[in-house]
Chain A
Amino acid sequence: MHDQTWQPGLRESYLYDRNVIAEIQRASREGIYDIRGFGAKRRLPHFDDLLFLGASVSRYPLEGYRERCGTDVVLGMRFAKQPLELKIPVTIAGMSFGALSAPAKEALGRGASEVGTATTTGDGGMTEEERSHSKTLVYQVLPSRYGMNPDDLRRADAIEVVVGQGAKPGGGGMLLGHKISDRVAAMRTLPKGIDQRSACRHPDWTGPDDLEIKIHELREITDWEKPIFVKIGATRTYYDVQLAVKAGADVIVVDGMQGGTAATQDVFIEHVGIPTLPATRLAVDALQELDMHRKVQLIMSGGIRTGADVAKALALGADAVSIGTAALISLGDNSPEYEEEYRKLGSAAGFYDDWQAGRDPAGISTQEDTLAARLDPVLGGRRIANYLRVLTLEAQTLARACGKSHVHNLEPEDLVALTVEAAAMARVPLAGTDWIPGRYSA
């Protein structure tokens, strides 16, 4: 970042830099923790620290376009009568109507359907826009149970029991008063304009032994038709994934700490959870140890931005990935075209994270009709479809370069790491060596 305030003799503290100073002074004025949207902004070891070993004298690539590289994935074969069959291994993560505007949810549905993948409801229930525009819709069951009803359960294509999310593992939903519009209030059975307080545990079960009984109930209500997903924020991922398997999940979604949110405390986002990179490795290890890899599918999320991220997550053993923040950016979040309005809000394009405030100039994370109207759901849908296609094409390019006729045939041995941390977290060797630091012992 080009810093124009510096002159000779000025030295900024690493610990108490301008951001920290501003935050301490804000806390002193307001007496409340900082609440914001977006995911972890600090630098963390991620898929960028891994590289693919492409074709060589010993491995041969596939011709782009002419030689097929499959991308389809089936989710939920373990117990459900009707597993999900997706054309690409990228889904749209759960984001609530309330956090997002109605046109945004419609756009996500349109785009996902166009390329043959699924969207997910969020903490507020299923909207007509999303159900009618999403060919494949995953319905979340959250601690709040806002909007929960058996009709939506039955018209969903899959059910996702949310234990937590990467941005705030252990925290519940949060929606501030200015986003509790009439419609949101009605859907959530709340008074309009209040700051929605949130439950962090489910009201009728705690623990994997009781989760098992809850999953069984959901299956009974829906006559065992639909796959049941369990979504976890990445913390003790190895044990959590094993417990989700034992509790009866068909699919497990693990959301690394880089996962976004519409609103929570900044301390939660930045200081709780583990990054998506080690979470992926741990989740796959847990599944393999139970001999459930590929039998219970794994969806990784949290900071998936490019086809490279997609391919690397799959190489480490995920069956699919999910995008949240990236989907919103695709719709126009933080676009330079709104620069002037971001400035008026005290922010700038590329920095805007006050999704909790509901004043989003892009019309995505707002309930204000005039702002939401700026987002054309048809155009938005096309952008999402384009972006999903690019993610898929990029992943196929990398997979073909590694000689794979299906993206699922990518494996950890196709990867090397650039840093010691990434090598240890992903359990792949440091490039040019056969050293894997911190390989864990039985």
Chain B
Amino acid sequence: MEAAELTGVEVIDLASTPLRELNRRLHELAGGARSWRIVNPNGAHAVACGLDAEIDVEIQGHVGYYCAGMNKLATVRVHGNAGPGVAENLMSGEVVVAGSASQSAGASGRGGLLVVHGDASARCGISMKGIDIVVRGSVGHLSAFMAQTGRLVVCGDAGEALGDSIYEARLYVRGEVASLGADCVEKDMRGEHLAELSDLLGRAGLDDVDAAQFRRYGSARQLYNFKVDNASAY
């Protein structure tokens, strides 16, 4: 069913509807609803994952692991906290977490935008492959570990080993970085970076945040090919 044909709002109560039923309907879109409200998630896992249509999903409460995992096109808003792996492998579309996200937020994401208004925990953006992630709060250790491409914006602080083994992803952090990981270094903020950062903050709805206060981090590219003198970095 084409997204343009979908209308109306569908409300699903996870206290009485099985998760399988919810996800089946979100995949089939037989009901024709464009907007979905999910109540009483109570920490359930895999809520609204594998979506592939331009629909809106509002989740009232806290979700467990892998909310919005592998989604395409859809907009998912969590009015609460998210467990590990929110928006993992996101392909496109948007995921917004009003509260905080547990570890591995946006893990291996390939596209789309993940916004976390609270904090994101360890390993935020791990293995990212093109996703954009904007965190209003802080991120934990090993964030952007092996980050291949995409952008991570952190308005708060970053934990230990930020960007360890990073490839070509770009990291912007406003607060303190506890430590940088292997091959991750601070880089110049040039005009094009400020513009990119402002655009990301705008898309995330964080218009009150000033791009000029951020520092940029990325790969030193010293570990791209093995050299014996870098052995200790391995």
Contact = CB atoms under 8 A, between A and B. Distances in A.
Interface string B120-151: 00010011011000000000000001101100
Interface in A212-267: 213-214, 216-217, 220-224
B107 A216 contact: no
Given A144-B127, A197-B223, A221-B69, A190 B148 contact: yes
B56 interface: no
Nearest to B149: A189
A150 B127 contact: no
B70 A216 contact: no
Interface in B19-70: 19-20, 23-24, 27, 45-46, 49-50, 52, 64-66, 69-70
A221 B69 CA distance: 8
A1 interface: no
A437 interface: no
B50 A213 contact: no
B16 interface: no
B225 interface: yes
B228 A189 contact: no
Interface in A124-173: 144-145, 148-150, 153
B168 interface: yes
A145 B104 CA distance: 13
B100 interface: no
A19 B35 CA distance: 67
B209 to A, nearest CB: 27
A63 interface: no
B129 A145 contact: yes
A177 B89 contact: no
B124 to A, nearest CB: 11
Nearest to A148: B89
Contacts of B65: 210, 213-214, 217
Nearest to B72: A150
B184 to A, nearest CB: 13
Contact of B23 (A30, A32, A205, A220): A220
Given A31-B228, A32-B228, A197-B223, A221 B70 contact: yes
Contact of A189 (B91, B107, B110): B110
A349 to B, nearest CB: 29
Nearest to A222: B50
Given A191-B168, A194-B224, A204-B84, A149 B91 contact: yes
Interface string B70-81: 111000000000
Contacts of B69: 217, 221
Contacts of B107: 145, 203-204
Contacts of B181: none
Contact of A31 (B70, B165, B225, B231): B231
Q: Classify the secondary structure of A's interface with B.
A: loop
B94 interface: no
B218 interface: no
B146 A199 contact: yes
A194 B104 CA distance: 25
Interface string A26-40: 000011100000000
A182 interface: no
Nearest to A144: B127
Contacts of A216: 45-46
A213 B19 CA distance: 13
Given A144-B127, A150-B52, A197-B165, A204 B91 contact: no
A176 B88 CA distance: 27
B167 interface: yes
Contacts of A221: 46, 49-50, 69-70
Contacts of B50: 150, 220-222
Nearest to B125: A203
Contacts of B64: 213
Contact of A204 (B104, B110, B167, B231): B104
B85 interface: yes
Interface string A412-429: 000000000000000000
Contacts of A213: 45-46, 64-66
Contacts of B71: 150
A337 interface: no
A150 B20 contact: no
A82 B45 CA distance: 23
A195 interface: yes
Nearest to B85: A204
Contacts of B91: 149-150
B127 A199 contact: yes
Contacts of A195: 224-226
Given A149-B110, A203-B104, A30 B228 contact: yes
A194 B165 CA distance: 12
Contacts of B228: 30-32
10 contacts: A148-B108, A150-B71, A150-B91, A199-B127, A199-B146, A204-B85, A205-B85, A216-B45, A220-B46, A223-B27
Interface of B: 19-20, 23-24, 27, 45-46, 49-50, 52, 64-66, 69-72, 84-85, 88-89, 91, 104, 107-108, 110, 123, 126-127, 129-130, 145-146, 148-149, 165, 167-168, 223-226, 228, 231
Interface of A: 30-32, 144-145, 148-150, 153, 177, 189-191, 193-195, 197, 199, 203-205, 210, 213-214, 216-217, 220-224
Q: What 7 A-B pairs are tightest by C-beta distance, nearest first? A: A221-B50, A31-B228, A145-B108, A204-B85, A204-B104, A194-B224, A150-B70
